[in-house]
Structure 1
Amino acid sequence: MNKTIQLQDLGLRDYKQVWDLQEAAFKETVDLKIRNRREEAQLETPNHFWFVEHPHVYTLGKSGDESNMLLNENQLAAKGATYYKINRGGDITYHGPGQIVGYPILDLENFFTDIHKYLRFLEEAIILTLKEYGLESSRSEGETGVWLDVGTPFARKICAMGVRASRWVTMHGFALNVNVDLGYFDNIIPCGIRGKAVTSLNVELGLAKVDEAEVKQKILKHFRVLFECEFV
Structure 2
Amino acid sequence: MNKNLLVEDLGRKDYKETWDYQETLFQEILDIKIKNRREDAGLQTPNHFLLVEHPHVYTLGKSGDFENLLVSEEYLKKIGASFYKINRGGDITYHGPGQIVGYPILDLENFFTDIHKYLRLLEEMVILTLAEYNIKAERSPGETGVWLDVGTPFARKICAMGVRASRWVTMHGFALNVNADLGYFDNMIPCGIRGKAVTSLNVELGKPQIDLAEVKQKLLKHFAQLFEAGIQQKTEA
TM-score (normalizing by structure 1): 0.99
Could you say what secondary structure the match of 1:153 adopts?
coil
1:202: which partner in 2?
A: 202
Identical pairs, percent: 75
Gaps of 5+ in 2: 233-237
* Cα distance in 2, alignment partners of residues 219 and 29 from structure 1: 24
* Cα distance in 2, alignment partners of residues 171 and 108 from structure 1: 11
* Cα distance in 2, alignment partners of residues 5 and 74 from structure 1: 40
Alignment of 1:135-154 (within 5 A): 135-154=135-154
Could you say what secondary structure the match of 2:20 adopts?
helix
How many residues align? The count is 232
Runs of 4+ in 1 over 6 A off after TM superposition: none
Residue 16 of structure 1 aligns with an amino acid whose one-letter code is: K
Could you report, residue by residue, the CA deviation over 1:77-116 in whole angstroms, capped at 9, with x for unpaired residues?
1110000000000000000000000000000000000000
Structure 1 residue 73: Cα displacement: 1.8
1:29: which partner in 2?
A: 29
* Cα distance in 2, alignment partners of residues 7 and 137 from structure 1: 25
Could you say what secondary structure the match of 2:42 adopts?
coil
1:12: which partner in 2?
A: 12
2:235: which partner in 1?
A: none
Residue 209 of structure 2 aligns with an amino acid whose one-letter code is: K
* Cα distance in 2, alignment partners of residues 23 and 142 from structure 1: 28
* Cα distance in 2, alignment partners of residues 73 and 210 from structure 1: 31
Structure 1 residue 212: Cα displacement: 0.6
Structure 1 residue 74: Cα displacement: 1.4
Structure 1 residue 31: Cα displacement: 1.1
Q: CA-atom RMSD, angstroms? A: 0.4
2:217: which partner in 1?
A: 217
Residue 122 of structure 1 aligns with an amino acid whose one-letter code is: L
* Cα distance in 1, alignment partners of residues 3 and 75 from structure 2: 45
Structure 1 residue 6: Cα displacement: 0.5
Structure 1 residue 66: Cα displacement: 0.3
Gaps of 5+ in 1: none
2:124: which partner in 1?
A: 124
1:114: which partner in 2?
A: 114
* Cα distance in 1, alignment partners of residues 211 and 177 from structure 2: 12
1:180: which partner in 2?
A: 180
Structure 1 residue 11: Cα displacement: 0.4
Could you say what secondary structure the match of 2:126 adopts?
helix
